[in-house]
Copies of this chain bind each other. A is one copy, B any other.
Amino acid sequence: MADRRSPVQVRSRAMVDRILQAATRVLAERGYAGLSTNRVAAVAGVSVGSLYRYFGDKDDLVRELRVRSTQDILGDLTAAMSDAVTLPTRDAIRQVLATLVAALQRHHALTSALVNEVPLGAQSNVLPEVEQQLGQFTRMFVAVHAPHLTPAEAEARIYLALGVTLSTCLRIALEPPPGIAEERLVDLTADLLHTGLVLP
């Protein structure tokens, strides 16, 4: 097994990137079933041995794909969330939704494969970090706008709001309906969340 990981030279850093790119392509083109380490290495123009020098495991490779895209999305999301605090509630929600949709869309192929192809095993939700980050946002709004709710009622609303937000943004980003402007969908969703779950 030897001492895996952590490339230090430029050359190897580039290789890690090429491997991840190749993995993304293979995942998008042939699904998780077609994602063999041999194939990824071949597509990357690299030998399997090299792949196993930087990724101890096939799962490790997939995990890294997930981490990278998640971090990228999270970056956008937190930025949008800090911008949003100064806006009126409905606009804040709208902006966060729009940002999330755009971020998901930017990684369309990868996100789609990660959501639809890769089995999640034990854990149940996709993009748990994104969900957690959105959770803080939602919690804040509910606390501010509906302080009279019992804790259980508040939790129920947060649970639903989170589910609706994530699933709807994913759907808009990955399976947009033909002939409907995505902006309009985001608007409607923001209204839905605002008047239906955040307000009392």
Contacts and interface: CB of A to CB of B under 8 A. Distances in A.
B160 A168 contact: yes
Interface string A168-200: 100100110101100011001101100111000
A32 B164 CA distance: 27
A42 B76 CA distance: 49
A85 interface: no
B196 A192 contact: yes
15 contacts: A116-B119, A117-B120, A153-B184, A155-B177, A156-B180, A157-B188, A159-B177, A159-B180, A160-B168, A160-B185, A160-B192, A163-B167, A163-B171, A167-B167, A167-B171
9 nearest CB pairs, A to B: A167-B167, A192-B196, A196-B196, A117-B119, A159-B177, A163-B171, A156-B180, A124-B175, A116-B120
A33 interface: yes
Contacts of A195: 195-196
Contacts of A179: 152, 155
Interface residues of A, number: 37
Contacts of A124: 112, 116, 174-175
Contact of A196 (B171, B175, B191): B191
A88 interface: no
A168 B162 CA distance: 10
Nearest to A120: B116
Interface in A120-163: 120-121, 124-125, 152-153, 155-157, 159-160, 163
Nearest to A151: B179
Contacts of A116: 119-120, 124
Contacts of A185: 156, 159-160
A159 B176 CA distance: 9
Interface string A72-96: 0000000000000000000000000
